[in-house]
Structure 1
Amino acid sequence: MSKKIVVTGIGASSPLGGTASDSWEALLAGESGVRTIEADWVEKYDLPVSFAGQARVQPTEVLDRPVAKRLDPSSQFALVAAKEAFADAGSPEIPSERLGVDWATGIGGIWSLLDAWDTLREKGPRRVMPLTVPMLMPNAPSAAISMHFTARAFARTVASACASSTESIANAYEHLQLGLADIVIAGGSEAAIHPVTLASFSSMQALSRRNDSPETASRPYNTDRDGFVMGEGAAALVLETEEHALARGAKIYAEIAGGGVTADSYHITANDPEGHGAIRAMKLALSQAGAHPEDVTHINAHATSTPVGDINEYTALLGVFGDRAREIPVSATKAATGHLLGGTGALEALFSVLAVHHRVAPPTINLVDQDPEIPLQVSSEPQPLADGPQLAISNSFGFGGHNAVVAIRSYDA
């Protein structure tokens, strides 16, 4: 594949901020987006975990009420992020048949589904909202973006658990290479901070239970890490060929240089401890980028803060980079945002775009006592990247054995 695919717009709604720039600035400042959930259902259901990475700005504060009312929160977040990204790209004028959407979610419209179930049980079938099914569909966020921007090239949806939105960016890269569109809005969203998901993840012993200190609960690589933290929100990237971007005079943040998608075929929740699938995904992304492991200058790790997952990813990194894995600046940004599930890969890709653009690796907060079995170069402060061209990889691994990696290169016209 020979076309250069570039990022010309970014947008986000995250636990750190209501925009991409606010999220990035809070990340660099070492802030945490995790806090106690104030909803009465935490006490009602006696949930063992009472905190999460809730969005700093709720989408209902941004969208017009008639629009928001017809969308599940996962679609609301998607539309907020996509609108910001498209405006940041200069709101390009483009034939609708040449504008596509590659979006992702891990769980979809769980609030719409379970609210409807409650209504059915308590008030009967006549009170169930007519739009319940269109709101709960996993493709609803992609559809909402497509309809808002009249994007008719395609509106595709990936649902690959926590690898979803990284896979959507890899797909967008390939769709642009194939000439299926001139511009693609790519990313992912999730709004699954719900009693059912919190209870389920808690039952499988996957969540941190630091209810007394939510802001320090997500602590990748720390010796006493005890699980991940739920998050919500969305991130969007506007991608197009370099030729198309230059022709319209667009600013360019970075280049999406390649992507890799593989499967472990190992276990429904655990990733392969040998990291074979993750290794192949990283190598595929670098191969598509025409790059080698020694070219990588920054890694945004999946790093969920689970005792086993962090070590397994380190094993995979050793399988790609050898001893050099310990020398590459690594960021584990879930420490600040929590885990946005299907939306997390897009947010971390956005952070990686800004990292190579500004030549700084964002800090990893809550790292007090680094696990000696994971001797990566992780800093609690922003790390300046070395002079010269930058190449980052952003890793995402999900339940079901899904692995997705994107390679992101600094752009020098």
Structure 2
Amino acid sequence: MKRVVVTGLGTINSIGHNVEDSFKAVVAGECGIDTITLFDASEYSVKIAGEVKDFDPSTVMDKKEVKKADRFIQLGIKAAHEAMHDCGLVNEDGKVNEDIANRFGIISASGIGGLSTIEKNSVVNANRGPKKISPFFIPSSLVNMLGGFISIAHGLKGPSLSHVTACAASTHAIADATKTIMLNGADRVLVVGAESAVCGAGVGGFAAMKALSTRNEDPKKASRPFDTGRDGFVMGEGAGALVLETLDSALERGAKIYCEIIGFGESGDANHITSPVMDGPLRAMEAAFAFAKDHTGEDVKIDYVNSHGTSTPVGDVNETKAIKALFGGAQNCPPVTSTKGQIGHCLGAAGAIEAIFAIKSLNEGVIPPTINIENQDPECDLDYVPNTARNVELTTVMSNNFGFGGTNGSVIFKKYEN
């Protein structure tokens, strides 16, 4: 099978509008969670989220097109734009050359898609009738339209696929893109995960499940993975994009290589639609390890795990137990962190954004902290790099994401070595 490397990165989230600013902020422990401004949340039990501030979609798409795309698509376009320019494969008009277009695919991902557009048009339909529904409603809200808009913008004519596997969606998209390239289905694939569900229906829905933190009076400390005071996750929004390609093509054109993808694994809990069990995440990680060993012919040593770490009472303990089982006890585990304290839980975009943070950690030799750990949960007994970043040489890192429905994904990145 072909070797697959990452040659382009892009992101936008609540602490930065690009990769460099975002990673600098996440390492510094800055927090983008604040009082909700995207809608009037005054009557909601949850009033906080990790919103993207000061974003003008007309900077990355034509003003006439903005109204045709839900905010999650707009954010995805922004991240994709950065990644495509970062990889060095677009010309002056932002498109790839025709000689590579047919084998340049895109795999998009979102947990929910255009929820705010669905909400708005449902209200219009109920109050004003079906004739007042926007003609852009359906194409604006479909998850695969994220890939549709972006493929048109950059002229990508290879496989166009989409994942909607809750909070594991963009992790699965990375794995799927890697498989596609390894099996010669494409030479290059752009992966884009995007989410913007900070609206009345989104916040109200998760709040009704008792899944969200209600620490409204102290939003910067509301998301606190692995701390005894955690009371639920905080919704975030944003997007992440990665350009994957064959090692041969990257070397041939002298591309900057961020890392090699050496392993990935997926699993299903087959247990409960919202409550996790240790078995599923453990098997996803084990599958990633097994693939990496078969692919490289070597035993895999993980130096750092960017965990799913949502700040939920059950989820954090469950993932901790799975990681301990994987490595054979707490004493054998590498450092484990969650960056959701800084940006919130970006749902279907979480995997792409957190993969970017993991890859940047690998390249810069620094592990971002898990912020807001004041009293570490005794059941969460690993090294979570609390509150302050740590400089350490890294060779191989793992990124985990798990979703409702019992869907799990894990990806392993390694420094490229000649």
Q: TM-score, normalised by structure 1?
A: 0.95
Q: Is the 8 A contact 1:98 1:182 kept in 2?
A: yes
Please report how far the alpha carbon of residue 113 of structure 1 lies from its aligned counterpart in structure 2 after TM superposition: 1.3
Instruction: Tell me whether 1:55 sits opposite 2:60 in the alignment.
Output: no
Greater Cα offset, 275-284 or 321-330: 321-330
Greater Cα offset, 301-310 or 92-101: 92-101
Please provide the CA RMSD for this pair. Answer: 1.6
Q: Is the 8 A contact 2:116 2:201 kept in 1?
A: no
> In structure 2, do the counterparts of structure 1 residues 78 and 39 end up closer, same or farther at CA, with 3 Å as the change threshold?
closer
Q: Is the 8 A contact 1:393 1:406 kept in 2?
A: yes
Unmatched 5+ stretches in structure 1: none
Q: Which residue of 2 is the match for residue 276 of structure 1?
A: 279
Number of corresponding residues: 406
Q: TM-score, normalised by structure 2?
A: 0.94
Instruction: Tell me whether 1:8 sits opposite 2:7 in the alignment.
Output: yes
Cα-to-partner distance string for 1:280-300 (whole Å, 9 max, x where unaligned): 111111222227776000000
Q: Is the 8 A contact 2:115 2:202 kept in 1?
A: no
CA distance in 2, matches of 1:7, 1:56: 28
Q: Which residue of 1 is the match for residue 186 of structure 2?
A: 181
Q: Is the 8 A contact 2:106 2:159 kept in 1?
A: yes
CA distance in 1, matches of 2:331, 2:318: 14
CA distance in 2, matches of 1:356, 1:79: 26
Amino acid at match of 1:384: N
Q: Is the 8 A contact 1:257 1:289 kept in 2?
A: yes
Q: Which residue of 2 is the match for residue 211 of structure 1?
A: 216
- 3-state SS in 2 of match to 1:86: helix
CA distance in 2, matches of 1:26, 1:57: 16
Q: Which residue of 1 is the match for residue 391 of structure 2?
A: 384
Q: Which residue of 2 is the match for residue 299 of structure 1?
A: 305
**Poorly superposed stretches of 4+, deviation over 4 Å:** 291-294, 324-327
Q: Is the 8 A contact 1:8 1:250 kept in 2?
A: yes
Q: Is the 8 A contact 1:18 1:57 kept in 2?
A: no
> In structure 2, do the counterparts of structure 1 residues 408 and 40 end up closer, same or farther at CA, with 3 Å as the change threshold?
closer
Please report how far the alpha carbon of residue 326 of structure 1 lies from its aligned counterpart in structure 2 after TM superposition: 5.7
- 3-state SS in 1 of match to 2:329: helix
CA distance in 2, matches of 1:326, 1:374: 14
CA distance in 2, matches of 1:23, 1:10: 12
Q: Which of residues 113, 116, 119 is equivalent to 1:111?
A: 116
Q: Which of residues 103, 122, 133 is equivalent to 2:127?
A: 122
Please report how far the alpha carbon of residue 58 of structure 1 lies from its aligned counterpart in structure 2 after TM superposition: 2.4
CA distance in 1, matches of 2:79, 2:228: 35
Q: Which residue of 2 is the match for residue 321 of structure 1?
A: 327
Greater Cα offset, 15-24 or 315-324: 315-324
Q: Which of residues 75, 86, 108 is equivalent to 2:84?
A: 86
CA distance in 1, matches of 2:225, 2:332: 16
- 3-state SS in 2 of match to 1:408: strand
CA distance in 1, matches of 2:150, 2:39: 32
CA distance in 2, matches of 1:217, 1:96: 45
CA distance in 2, matches of 1:395, 1:281: 9
CA distance in 2, matches of 1:104, 1:257: 21
Q: Is the 8 A contact 1:293 1:320 kept in 2?
A: no
- 3-state SS in 2 of match to 1:230: coil
